[in-house]
Structure 1
Amino acid sequence: MADEVLSQAEVESLLSAMEASGPRTSSAAISTASVAPPSKGAIRTREKVTPYDFKRPERVGKEQMRALQSLHEGFGRNFGAALSALLRSIVEVKLTSVDQLTYSEFVFSLENPTCFNLLRAEPLEGNLILDINPSILYPIIDRLLGGGKEAGPVARRPLTEIELRLVSRITHLFLQELKHAWEGVLPLKLSVDRVESNPQLVQIVPPNEVVVLISFELTLNDVRGMINLCIPFNSIERIGSKLTSNNWVAYGKGGATPQSIAQISKRLDQSKVELVVTLAETTITTGDMIGLRVGDIITTDKDIRTPLEIAVQGMAKFQASCGALKGHKAVRIEQSIAVPAAAAPPPTPATPAPAPAAAGKK
C-alpha cells in the first residue's frame, strides 16, 4: 500500500519512547516526521506553473518589446502635439499596450466597419496596418469640418469619399511622426497603399502569424477612442538586432565641433540660394492691374533714398541701394540687418566687402 497506517499499540509505543528519551528523541521524531510521506488528506505544495500556448508563440523578445514600447511612448506625445495643432483643440495620445498575438485575433477584435489602412514601410517587408476606431475618427472629422465641442452619435457606416480625403490628413500626420520616431532605428519610407472598411476581407499574413499590436488611446474633449498599429513579425524579423535599447536609447545630438562646422560650411559654400530684392510695395485694384501697359508708372510711398531690403531664402539679411553696372540693373550691399540672438548663426571669419551683384526684382 502507498500509505502506511499505524495501529493503536504502535502509536502508544512511539509516544512512550518520546517521553522516555527527552528532547533529543523529540527532535529525531520531528526529523523522521519531516521525511515521512504525506497522508491522503495532506495538502501538497506545488511549484508555480506558467501556461504556454503553442498557438501563440512569443517570437518577439522581451528586450525588443521594451524597445518598441519606449520608442512609441515618445511617438505618442509628439503625435498628440501635432494633432492638437491640426485640430486646434487639446488631444491627448497615450500608449496603452504593446502586445504580440496572432493576426486572426487582431482582425476579429476590430469593429466592422472601421478605418483599416494598409501601409507600406520600405525597406520593411510586407504591409503594416493602421486602424482608427470610428468612435474617435468621426469626432475628429466633425472637428475638421468646424463642428462644435459636443459629439453626436457615432455613425456605423463606411467612410465617404470626402471623409476619406479628410482622414488622409490624419494618417499623413501619423506617418510623418512615425517616421521621425523610427529614425534612430531605421529610416522608413511610409505611404498608404489603400483604405478598407471591412478588416476581415484583408489578409496580409496567415491567420496564425504573430503580429505586434501597438495600441494608443486618443482623448478629444470628452470622447475617447483607440488607434492600433499592427506590425507583422516577418516585417521586423530581419532588423531584430536593431530593436534593442542599447542601439537607440542612448542616441542623442552631440555638440557642434569646429571640425563639423568647417565641414558643413565647406559644403554650403557652393549651395545656390534664392536672393530677392524688394524695390517697393503698394496696392492697386484688379482693374488697374489688368489695364497696365508697357511704360506705365506705378507710384509708391517709398522714398528713393530709403535703402532696399535683400532677403536670402525668405529671410531679410542686408540693406542695399539700387543702381546700374555695365548696363545691367544691380544693387550694392550697404550693411547687414541684425539677426536676433536666438536665431543668430555661429560667427564666421571676416570676409571682404561684397561686390555689387545683379538681382531680380520682385
Structure 2
Amino acid sequence: MDSLEKLGLSVYDFDRPDKFSFENLRSLDSLISVFSRNFATDLSGLLRMPAEVEVKKVEQVPFGSEYLEKREKDESIYVVTNLGDKEQIILQLDVGFLLAIHSKQCGGNFEQIKKVKKNITDFEKLTVEHLVENYMYPPLREAFKNIWDFKYHIERIETDPQYAKITVPQDMVALITLDVRVRTDHTQVQIVIPFLSIEQFIESLSTDNVLKNRKTETPPEQIFYLNDHILQIKRNFEVEMGVLNLSVNQLLGLETGDVLVLNEVDKPMVCHFGGKEKFVGKIGAKDGKAAVKILGIVKDVEGKKEKIEKVKESNSVLDN
C-alpha cells in the first residue's frame, strides 16, 4: 500500500466505485436543505403542529448490497417515483410515521411514532399518495428546478424492498437521510437517487451552478401572501378595566353581592391585543354602544409600564 501511495496510485474498489464526486454530494446536500425547509413548513400545516426537517447525511452506496439487502420487509414504505421515461428515485418513509399521519388525517390524534412492521392497506396507501404528491413533490420540484425539471409521479408503493428495485444492484446511489421531528417524536425519511437516473444531469450538479441559480430574495408573490395572511389573523382586543390586589383571606371571604372597586371609568385604561399591552384608551359610548377611544400606543420595549403611566397622566391632565 505504501509503495502505491509513493507512485500516486490507490486501490480501486470495484464493489463501491465512486460515481458521485464530492462536489456532487455537497450540491445535493445544499439542494435537499432547501427541500427540507419547505417540506417542514408544509408538514406543519398538514399536521397543525410544529415539525422540523433537516439533512442528516448524504452518501453514496451500492444499491444492492448497501441499500436493498439491509432493509427489512414491512418496516418502511418505498414510494417509487418516475422522473421521466426511465429515470426513477425512491422516497422512503417509516410505516410508524405514516400511521401517525393517517390517524391525524382521519380525524384522530397524531399518535406517537413507533417502530411498526405492517403491510399497509389500500386506504393507508391513499394517505401516502396524498402526503407525497401534495407535500413532498412540490418542494422537491422547487429545490431541483434549476438542475432538472422533471414531472414527478408515483409509479408504485411497496413495503417489500425487493419490489422497489429501480436500478441494477451494482449501481451507485446517492442515499440522502433526513431527520424529521414532530413535537418530540423522531423519524427518518430517505431519498434514493441512482447515478444512472441522473447521469445526463450530473455535470449540472455542481456547487457553482447551485449557488448561481439560488434565489436570495423572497419572491414578491410570497411577500404578498405573507402580508395578506398576517392581516387576516384574528386576535382578541381586551380593555383592562382595572387591577385589584387581594389577599388570600380576602379572596376566600368574598360572597355574592360584594362589590370590588376598580379604576374610575373616566381614567385611561390599558388595552390588550393578543394578550399583550399595546394601547392606552378611554371608555365611552358611540351611537348608543360602548366604545374605546385609543389615546396612545405602547411599544413592546423596556420601560413599557412607565410609558403607560406617562400616557395616562398626560391624558388625565388634558381632561382636567
CA deviation profile, 1:8-46 (whole Å, cap 9, x unmatched): xxxxxxxxxxxxxxxxxxxxxxxxxxxxxxxxxxxx9xx
For structure 2, the 5+ residue unaligned runs are 218-320
TM-score, with structure 2 as normaliser: 0.60
CA contact (8 A) 1:149 1:221 kept: no
**Does residue 171 of structure 1 match 2:132?**
yes
Paired residues, number: 210
Q: How does 1:237-248 map to 2 (within 5 A)?
A: 237-248=199-210
Distance of aligned partners of 1:111 and 1:218 in 2 relative to their CA distance in 1, 3 Å threshold: farther
CA distance in 2 between partners of 1:149 and 1:207 (Å): 37
In structure 2, the residue matched to 1:109 is 70
Deviation at 1:149, TM superposition (A): 5.0
Larger Rg: 1
Which AA in structure 2 matches 1:219?
Answer: R
CA distance in 2 between partners of 1:136 and 1:254 (Å): 33
For structure 1, the 5+ residue unaligned runs are 1-43, 256-362
In structure 1, the residue matched to 2:45 is 85
CA distance in 2 between partners of 1:150 and 1:137 (Å): 10
**Does residue 223 of structure 1 match 2:161?**
no
**Does residue 60 of structure 1 match 2:20?**
yes
Which AA in structure 2 matches 1:102?
Answer: P
2:148 to 168, 181, 186: 186
**Does residue 74 of structure 1 match 2:69?**
no
CA distance in 1 between partners of 2:214 and 2:32 (Å): 17
Deviation at 1:155, TM superposition (A): 3.8
CA distance in 1 between partners of 2:67 and 2:25 (Å): 17
In structure 2, the residue matched to 1:132 is 93
CA distance in 2 between partners of 1:252 and 1:130 (Å): 24
CA distance in 1 between partners of 2:114 and 2:160 (Å): 21
Deviation at 1:59, TM superposition (A): 0.9
Q: Residue 238 of structure 1 aligns to a residue in which SS?
A: helix
CA RMSD of aligned residues (A): 2.6
Segment of structure 1 superposing worse, 229-238 or 243-252: 243-252
In structure 2, the residue matched to 1:195 is 157
CA distance in 2 between partners of 1:194 and 1:155 (Å): 21
CA distance in 1 between partners of 2:214 and 2:201 (Å): 21
Deviation at 1:252, TM superposition (A): 4.7
Richer in helix (by share): 2
CA deviation profile, 1:162-197 (whole Å, cap 9, x unmatched): 111111111111111100111121211100011111
CA distance in 1 between partners of 2:190 and 2:132 (Å): 12
Distance of aligned partners of 1:52 and 1:223 in 2 relative to their CA distance in 1, 3 Å threshold: farther
CA distance in 2 between partners of 1:174 and 1:92 (Å): 14
TM-score, with structure 1 as normaliser: 0.54
CA distance in 1 between partners of 2:44 and 2:120 (Å): 23
In structure 1, the residue matched to 2:308 is none
Q: Residue 23 of structure 2 aligns to a residue in which SS?
A: helix
CA contact (8 A) 1:94 1:218 kept: yes
CA contact (8 A) 2:100 2:110 kept: no
